[in-house]
Structure 1
Amino acid sequence: MTTIELRELTKEYGRGGKAVRALDRLTVSIRPGRVTGFLGPNGAGKSTTMRLVLGLDRPTSGAALLGDRPCTAHSEPLRHVGALLDAGAAHPGRTARDHLRVLASSNRIPDHRIDEVMEETGIAPAARRRVRTFSLGMRQRLGMAAALLGDPPVLLLDEPSNGLDPEGMVWLRELVRRLADEGRTVLVSSHLMGEVARIADRVVVLGAGRLLADAPLADFLHEHGEPAEPDSLEAAYLRLTAGAVRYRAKKEA
């Protein structure tokens, strides 16, 4: 199985005195067989990290690897990593099936996988509908179908529960948990602390581009939370990240 390895990963935008450091020497390993919750305030560097892992952007220094290779070294990347970053990524004029067919053909994925992932994500009845007619929740399901298309060992999911109804939330929890139990590496970024608490085995927390925590969920709650708090993960997270938010505000002032 495949580990996501981030080694001294740094990303700066802009040049000279106006450069903004979105990630600051981030080193962490996201291991297979568990769900890792990826937490942090807006602007902490979570989306930047995912884009660097996927090869959609280049680091200023350091490395983001799938196992021992960058994503860009794989000729058929969907067979190695699946990602849900933007529910609006599908062309609105295409049908759901056509969207998945284009992705499958570009990565030499057999057509039978299209039917399998549409069934698995609950969009098979809407296979011939154009994406522009989909609700946000249906677009999220289509995004999950695309992420699963190559049966990859690694999954990166950015706010995957956006737009899902309560039934969809339960479906997503069960799916994500099953994927990790199959030995896959699952990284889930979310601001919904209750959902993260339900599915995560481990949490990685960023603040102002820096690593604030990398620990099993139970250990994180023990160190930063209070057992009597009803929303213990949210309280622990807010307690840990408050200083990082103040640091970012001071730096940008």
Structure 2
Amino acid sequence: MNSIDLVRLTKRYGRVRAVDGLTCTVEPGRVTGFLGPNGAGKSTTMRLVLGLDRPSSGTATVGGRPYASLDEPLRHVGALLDAGAAHPARTARDHLLALAHSNRLGVRRVDEVLAETGLTKAARRRVRTFSLGMRQRLGIAAALLGDPPVLMLDEPTNGLDPEGIIWVRELMRRLAAEGRTVLVSSHLMAETAQTADHVLVLGRGRLLADGPLAGFVGSHGSLERAYLELTAGAVEYTADERS
């Protein structure tokens, strides 16, 4: 099963625990919303899953394996963490071609994801000319490139216009309906409420809640109210605290 499994996952920065004993499973076939205040540990958790940071203790696996052990990882996990990751001097198509080549993916797949993300006409433009919304679409194209069973998206609607937001919403629902694992970090409660089936809430690196969206809404009247009650006091870490 292509789940994301975290077991007592912990990441320390000096005396601060950015992720603190996190244990949960992100399951296939549903959109899981990943919520929490700034500094709660969401992005750090995603980086730990992707092997971009090393945990201080605990484990993070995808389909039972550490990400670093995966051959041709784009075929297993697609991720959007930073819309600015593409080299600004490359064209959109060249950026995707480089990723495809490194994972033994064909040119045809590059053209397919450009079309799926609405970037066909901009494929030969250099990334530095892209708006934030277009960079987001390129990041999503890169995540989709290997047709992976697991998707991890950090604020995927950032910079998108209303049409783009609806497109991302429908894309996530379709991917989950196909049986894929979809983890989406967001600050937008209204958008999460319209998209997610399941919710994970972090505060100061700790898991505050893990359950179906319907349960949150039913117990608190709205996802926003539930979120505010759960995260009360879970304030952002300061730079001094992280040092």
* Interval of TM-score (by shorter of Structure 1 and Structure 2): over 0.9
Query: What corresponds to 1:84 in structure 2?
Result: 80
Deviation string, structure 1 residues 67-112 (Cα, Å, up to 9, x no partner):
1110000121111100010000000000000000000000111111
Query: What corresponds to 1:49 in structure 2?
Result: 45
- Which amino acid is the alignment partner of residue 13 of structure 1? Y
Q: 2:201 is paired with a residue of what secondary structure?
A: strand
CA contact (8 A) 2:39 2:235 kept: no
Query: What TM-score does the superposition give when structure 1 sets the normalisation length?
Result: 0.92
Flag as ranges the 4+ runs of structure 1 deviating above 3 A: none
What CA distance in whole angstroms lies between the structure 1 residues aligned with 2:185 and 2:209?
14
Answering whether residue 109 of structure 2 is matched by residue 119 of structure 1, we say: no
Q: 1:245 is paired with a residue of what secondary structure?
A: coil
Q: Which structure is richer in relative contact order (CA contacts within 8 A, separation 6 or more)? A: 2
Q: 1:78 is paired with a residue of what secondary structure?
A: helix
Query: What corresponds to 1:104 in structure 2?
Result: 100
- Which amino acid is the alignment partner of residue 217 of structure 2? L
Q: How much has 1:243 moved relative to structure 2?
A: 3.3
Please, what is the CA RMSD of the aligned residues?
A: 1.4
Answering whether residue 182 of structure 2 is matched by residue 183 of structure 1, we say: no
Query: What corresponds to 2:229 in structure 1?
Result: 239
Structure 1 stretches lacking a partner, 5+ long: 227-231
Give the percent of matched residue pairs that are identical in Structure 1 and Structure 2.
73
What CA distance in whole angstroms lies between the structure 1 residues aligned with 2:87 and 2:224?
36
Query: What corresponds to 2:16 in structure 1?
Result: 20
CA contact (8 A) 2:114 2:120 kept: yes
Residue 171 of structure 1: which of 157, 167, 170 is its match?
Answer: 167
CA contact (8 A) 2:111 2:120 kept: yes
Structure 2 stretches lacking a partner, 5+ long: none
What CA distance in whole angstroms lies between the structure 2 residues aligned with 1:206 and 1:86?
20
What CA distance in whole angstroms lies between the structure 2 residues aligned with 1:162 and 1:64?
26
- Which amino acid is the alignment partner of residue 9 of structure 1? L
Q: How much has 1:122 moved relative to structure 2?
A: 0.3
What CA distance in whole angstroms lies between the structure 2 residues aligned with 1:137 and 1:187?
20
- Which amino acid is the alignment partner of residue 177 of structure 2? D
- Which amino acid is the alignment partner of residue 183 of structure 1? G
- Which amino acid is the alignment partner of residue 120 of structure 2? A
Query: What corresponds to 2:33 in structure 1?
Result: 37
- How many residue pairs match? The answer is 240
Answering whether residue 57 of structure 2 is matched by residue 61 of structure 1, we say: yes
Query: What TM-score does the superposition give when structure 2 sets the normalisation length?
Result: 0.96
Query: What corresponds to 1:147 in structure 2?
Result: 143
